[in-house]
Chains A and B, each alone.
Chain A
Amino acid sequence: MSVALHEEHAHDPAHIRKVAMWVFLGSECLLFGTLISTFLLYRTRTGSGPTAADVFDIPFTSVSSFILLMSSLTMVLAHHSSVRKDYRQMRLWLVATALLGVTFLAGQVFEFTEFVHEGLTVTTSPFGSSFFVLTSFHGAHVAVGVLMLLVTALMSFTGKWRPDAGMDVELVGLYWHFVDIVWIVIFTVVYLLQV
């Protein structure tokens, strides 16, 4: 944050937007921090409903977590292609990332239906409330990310392709990776540690 650094970057739009994105992501940490600690407070308050050990299916969640983790690889490859101005490749990786994201979401939908069948809903107990609200809040972030990925891929076909658009892929990427690292924490704290 020295003067030199500042002047070097002066009014580089890519830099400005990245600063904003990192600031925003710092704020998001507190958002998920609140949700996760609510869960931690309520993790054993299951009332007469099922407990974490009753419903969680670790092998299944491990696979879907792994899928989301790998979507970070495809994302960073998309960014790399956009830096090299290889937009065909970039689109492929973007769509691949979106598909992995959709697969993760489908897994979440499946998991939720299973849990409901086993008697855990959002109203069953504070455990149920905090689990469902945390994971679906994260799911909503994934869904927004998928939307942004697809729009970015589509936009790259149109004439609206701005010279600094390579940055847009980078910004979407930062968001996407962030959603991934939040899940890394959730997977450990909410799933693995509770069974």
Chain B
Amino acid sequence: MTETAHHRGMWRWLTTTDHKKIGILYGITAMGFFVVGGIEALFIRLQLATPNGEILSADAYNQLFTMHATTMVFLVVMPAAAALTNYFLPILIGARDVAFPRLNAFSYWVFVAGGLFLTVSFFVGGAPDGGWFGYAPLSTQVTEVVRMDYWALGLQVLGLASVLSSVNFITTVFTMRAPGMSLMRMPVFAWMATVVSFLLLFSLPIITIGLLQVFLDRNLGTGFYSAASGGDPVLWQHLFWLFGHPEVYVLILPAMGIVSEVLPTFSRKPLFGRSFVIFSGIAIGFMGFGVWAHHMFTAGLGPVAEAAFSLTTMFIAVPTGVKIFNWLGTIWGGSIRLKTPMLFSLGFIFLFVIGGLSGVTHSIVPSDAQQHDTYYVVAHFHYVLFGGAVFGIFSGLYYWWPKVTGKLLNERIGRLHFWLMFIGMNLTFAPMHILGLNGMPRRTYRYAEGLGLDLWNLVATIGSFTIAASLLVFFWNWYRTAKHGQPAGDDPWDGRTLEWSISSPPPEHNFDVIPVVHSEDDFWHRKYTENEAGHAVTVTAVPSAPAAEGPIHLPSPSYYPALASSGIFVLLLGLVYLPWGLIAVGAGAVVTMWGLFGWSMEPLTREDHG
């Protein structure tokens, strides 16, 4: 075969089953969608910068705010967390890969198919416009013909991708840990990734059925959510938020895990109350399933349900608060180094506390009746999602960048990035508290002059462009570092966990010898012991020579996962344009079956070839 080097390079990425490469693919894709979702947000803010905005029609506005939220939740924060989980979960627990490498590749490619599918809708008659929550009957009325079909089907396959990778991660954690890596010794990030996997595992099936019912209401004439034929739109709200509230913890827990790795490293202290952090993460996971109806306080659930969900919502703030105190306790008295990852983690704590507090104000039913569907709620969830999830992810990016690329991101540009983003974030979202309390409703494309909303809207728009500028700074840093960044070495931060014990970037098989773990923060204890005064002292003894191991089995590359998911893409397109689309549905199904069959027939590891 005569292929160009470039072609072979592309092919390698397309067929990779290496969890690290897949992690990088997730990361780059998420970054691409971050730009898309960001541009959508800037349009929204431009429209709202002044009263009676003229930039967008009501129709365009609906599409943009729907796609902005859908993109940011499902195509940015979730895959960005998946990127870090893919790359680091196996390494953190001392494994050579995930349990099912090709399933992992399949998850990624299905995610890409779903993301492209959603985005394609912009070019074929309009994107989804019924909100990221798709409330019936707005989502089930068929006047706009196909827009919400794109939404229902797109989320459906994104869910499939997430369920598959959740099964994969959970299996990995329960079966692939290195010897001595008991569950309680797992790094907190690995723990939070596990809790997230369980949340997805049990919440996604609920929305899967909800979306199926929406799709059937639209295309088959069923009456699940049509009040006219006896159905009940409130059922949709239940199904959506049964998924939706666990989902918000899916978005925040990875960031909490990252912060729990970064703070100890840059304070040179172990995480304060480590097991409390882990258990409160698990508690949040459980309780996250018991609060969904706080999104429905104005739907008329009746006093019993409202009181119950108000209480559970107040209670869920407790484990969240526990974590905050643990983080503060970690920093307390530590020798703090204010590197960029640390700045983002501190920013996370500050902003997340604000968002958590406004969340608790929502839990009080009469108060929420005033806040619901106003910009006050928008302020709340951006403090937790942007100030929380996105800051946490950037903290992780700066922290692990040297491990992944072998080069350190520039500190000075990083600091500029942080401060611009921090200021921009507060400029954008703090005023929304005021706007909301002054009665500005969400999801409206215009507001009239003279309502006292002008100033703060303008400030918010200025803030949003500040955030955009900070992102450009980040891209500049990325570019500069790739060109002439300094080599990081294996352990640039004096880290505590296993990923810092291997080279940067890590070898394809991660560990020459599978490590044997003796304690929490095992790598730290290999480097330091304590003297009588309790101070860390460098260990001088050279670790014994690694024992020889049998041959290392690496998963072989495979193009079947990508092939199968391309079939899914075609199949989805066909489903939108029924009945003619049935041809595409058939073709797509055949390609998918071909991919899955070829996959199941393939030898598992490279050695099997020879």
Contact = CB atoms under 8 A, between A and B. Distances in A.
* Chains A, B in direct contact (C-beta < 8 Å): yes
Could you say which of B168, B170, B180, B183 has the most chain A C-beta atoms within 10 Å of its C-beta?
B170
B171 A16 contact: yes
Contact of A125 (B171, B182, B220, B230): B230
A98 to B, nearest CB: 18
Could you say which of B99, B170, B202, B205 has the most chain A C-beta atoms within 10 Å of its C-beta?
B205
Interface stretch (B14-22, B59-67, B208-216, B494-502): B208-216
A20 B167 contact: yes
B208 A23 contact: no
A129 B222 contact: yes
B177 interface: yes
Interface range, A side: 35 or more
B174 A19 contact: yes
A6 to B, nearest CB: 6
B239 A133 contact: no
A26 B222 contact: no
A123 B174 contact: no
A27 B224 CA distance: 23
Contact of B163 (A27, A45, A123): A27
Interface string A25-51: 011111101110010011001010000
A124 to B, nearest CB: 8
A16 B163 contact: no
A126 B231 contact: yes
A85 interface: no
Interface in B221-258: 221-224, 229-232, 235, 239
A157 interface: no
B517 to A, nearest CB: 10
B205 A10 contact: no
B205 A27 contact: yes
A34 B221 CA distance: 20
Could you say which of A1, A27, A28 has the most chain B C-beta atoms within 10 Å of its C-beta?
A27
Interface in B154-170: 163, 166-168, 170
A84 interface: no
A193 interface: no
B176 interface: yes
A117 interface: no
B179 A38 contact: no
Contacts of A24: 163, 167
B201 interface: yes
B524 interface: no
Contacts of B202: 26-27, 30
Nearest to B177: A6
Contacts of B235: 38, 41
A11 B223 contact: no
B229 A126 contact: yes
A26 B201 contact: yes
B223 A125 contact: yes
A2 B185 CA distance: 12
Could you say which of A2, A3, A41, A129 has the most chain B C-beta atoms within 10 Å of its C-beta?
A129
A122 B208 CA distance: 19
B163 to A, nearest CB: 6
A88 interface: no
A164 B318 CA distance: 48
A21 to B, nearest CB: 9
A7 B183 CA distance: 12
A20 B224 contact: no
A9 B183 CA distance: 15
Interface in A117-131: 122-123, 125-126, 128-130
Interface string B492-535: 00000000000000000000000000000000000000000000
Contact of B222 (A3, A7, A19, A133): A133
A38 B206 CA distance: 11
Contacts of B538: none
B209 A35 contact: yes
Contacts of A30: 202-203, 205-206
10 contacts: A7-B179, A19-B170, A20-B170, A29-B205, A38-B235, A42-B231, A45-B231, A47-B230, A125-B230, A133-B222
Given A16-B176, A19-B174, A129-B216, 13 more contacts: A6-B175, A6-B182, A7-B179, A15-B175, A19-B170, A27-B166, A31-B206, A33-B205, A38-B213, A47-B230, A122-B222, A123-B229, A126-B231
